Chains A and B, each alone.
Chain A
Amino acid sequence: MGVAKARGVVLPVDNSPTCGQARAIAERVLDPELPVLTLADLGVLRDVREDGGRVTVTITPTYSGCPALDEMRADLHRALRDAGYERVEIRTALTPTWTTDWISADGRRKLAEHGIAPPQHKAGPVTLNLTPPVTRVRCPRCGSARTTELSRFSSTACKALRRCEDCSEPFEHVKEI
């Protein structure tokens, strides 16, 4: 495991030269709940190792109960099997803990293009908030900073629902953790 720095995002990456095709295939698999992102964009793909005909892929859950994890495993299995790899093992690493900081710059751009406000960097989860929350999230459609949180939890645990006060459109925001 080496650590590569790319566009300000620190992602543990396996630099082993034996990793060829399998890594490229695994990186292209889409996230089942945010299908505008690949698993690599989302930062959940931690390691891909090829050893002869055997591939071991390590992914990490975003949230402890993320139901998409099973779909990711099945999708990775399928993509690698379709590419001719017969022995595929998907491991689920519990640590280090996933953070939205691992969403790549490309991933952030793709989220915004698809109307989902990307998480801020290094923000971390909210602390106890006993005053009206400060608006920091810009509308991904019109760019307005006047947005309101409608619900802290949205269609998935990782997103909040917000509305833009200028263009009136609702949009989702990937919460910082």
Chain B
Amino acid sequence: MSFDNAYDAITDASDDKHWAFGTGFDDPLSGVDRAVPAGVSTADLTAYCLMLADDALVLSQRLTEWCSRAPELEEDVALANIALDLLGQARLLLTRAGEVEGRGRDEDALAYLRDEHEFRNVRLVEIDCGPGPGGDFAVTIARLLVFSTWRLAVFERLVASKDPVLAAIAAKGVKELAYHRDHAAQWTLRLAGGTEFSRERMVAGMARVWPLYDELFTTHEVERSLPDVAVPPSDVRAEVDEVLDQVFTAAALDRPDVAPMSAVAGKSGRDGVHTEAMGFLLAEMQHLARSLPGAKW
């Protein structure tokens, strides 16, 4: 704007206070018909929005852990930007969840004040894929490839959802996810076709995330009870299989042959039953917001 230097801009005597956590959009979903479509259960729609939101929020948190730790500066920037896209998707979806739920919870309340069993993300996004002893860059790329291929396939169908808000969020997300998938596929090729060492890591990375692959395509009762609103993930399995097989072929990788991680008494991420990594992740993500409720800067 009309400031001579950045300091003037920062100290501008404006009464616009910012939330420290979300940024307090008044109407992030405007321009869309926000009424809940006729015949749709608000409890189910809230739960479905949380599922899609939590997948993006939790993976965003995991990707930001790489900031300053990636193999090269460009990759720090790339992973942070991908995390930012996912965070944006999460914020819109959380806002929609809170609005449909009608109990006055906004994006911040839903992101920072829910406990582990209330998070409905798939387990793939929460496991620790590094940096650090939990994994490495190749595991992170393997997860990103699987996740973005799957989410893109779901969002491409969600564009036709009977809920106009979900349709609009998906229309935006499709463009972003196409770049994420391409980025992960490029790295998969580069690591698999690089040195013996990088290839070994890529093979191990894919094997590490593969036990959580099946869970992505298990249609939950919430998804079943929202015909024409939700996308049953079992519908996208053939397409996701095919896309990943193309990448595997180009990278001369074999589809991993490992057993799926089992559910706990039939319940998994979508039911709020998570792996032990989840509690640590939430502790880090929620600590500040819970210590200083309503903080502004």
A152 to B176: give the CA distance in the assembly, Å: 12
Q: Which of B31, B77, B88 contacts A154 (CB 8 A)?
A: B77
Interface 9-mer from B36-44, B177-185, B202-210, B280-288: B177-185
User: Is B16's CB within 8 Å of the partner chain A?
Assistant: yes
Q: Is the CB of B25 within 8 A of A92?
A: yes
Q: Which chain A residues lie closer than 8 Å to B168 at the CB level?
A: 94-95, 97
Contacts of A65 in B (CB 8 A): 84-89, 91
Residues of chain A at the chain B interface (Cβ within 8 Å): 29-30, 58, 60-61, 63-67, 69-70, 74-75, 77-79, 90-95, 97-98, 124-130, 150-157, 161, 175, 177
Q: How far is the CB of A60 from chain B (nearest CB, A)?
A: 8
Cβ-based interface call for B268 (8 A): no
- B77 contact set on A, CB distance < 8 A: 151, 153-155
Residues of chain B at the chain A interface (Cβ within 8 Å): 1, 12, 14, 16, 18, 23, 25-32, 74-75, 77-78, 80-82, 84-89, 91-92, 164-165, 168-169, 171-176, 178-179, 181-183, 185-186, 189, 243, 246-247, 250
With A128-B246, A130-B250, A175-B179 as contacts: A70 and B171 at CB distance below 8 Å: no
Given A30-B1, A65-B84, A130-B189: A97 and B183 interface contact (C-beta under 8 Å): no
- In whole Å, how far is A154's beta carbon from the nearest beta carbon of chain B? 7
Cross-interface CB contact of B172 among A94, A128, A151, cutoff 8 Å:
A94
CB–CB B182/A128 < 8 A:
yes
Q: Are A94 and B179 in contact (CB under 8 A)?
A: no
Whether the Cβ atoms of A94 and B87 lie closer than 8 Å is: no
Q: List 22 A-B contacts (CB under 8 A).
A: A63-B84, A64-B92, A64-B173, A65-B84, A65-B88, A69-B23, A78-B14, A92-B25, A92-B26, A93-B32, A94-B29, A94-B92, A94-B172, A95-B31, A129-B182, A130-B185, A130-B250, A151-B74, A151-B77, A151-B78, A153-B82, A153-B179
A157 touching B84 by the CB < 8 A rule? yes
Contact assessment for A93 and B30 in the assembled complex, using a CB-CB cutoff below 8 Å: yes
A75 to B12: give the CA distance in the assembly, Å: 11
- Assess whether A153 is in contact with B32, with CB atoms less than 8 Å apart: no
- Which A-B residue pairs are the 9 nearest by beta carbons? A65-B88, A64-B88, A93-B31, A151-B74, A153-B78, A95-B168, A125-B178, A153-B81, A65-B84
The complex places the Cα of A150 from the Cα of B169 at a distance, in Å, of: 30
Question: Which residue on chain A has the smallest CB distance to residue B93?
Answer: A64
CB distance from A42 to the nearest CB of B (A): 15
Q: Determine whether the beta carbon of B246 is less than 8 Å from that of A97.
A: no
The answer on a CB contact under 8 Å between B85 and A91 is: no
Q: Which residues of A contact B16 (CB under 8 A)?
A: 74, 77
- Do B31 and A177 have beta carbons less than 8 Å apart? no
Rounded to whole Å, the gap between the CB of A95 and the closest CB of chain B is 4
Asked, given contacts A75-B1, A130-B250, A153-B78, whether A63 binds B23 with beta carbons under 8 Å apart, the answer is no
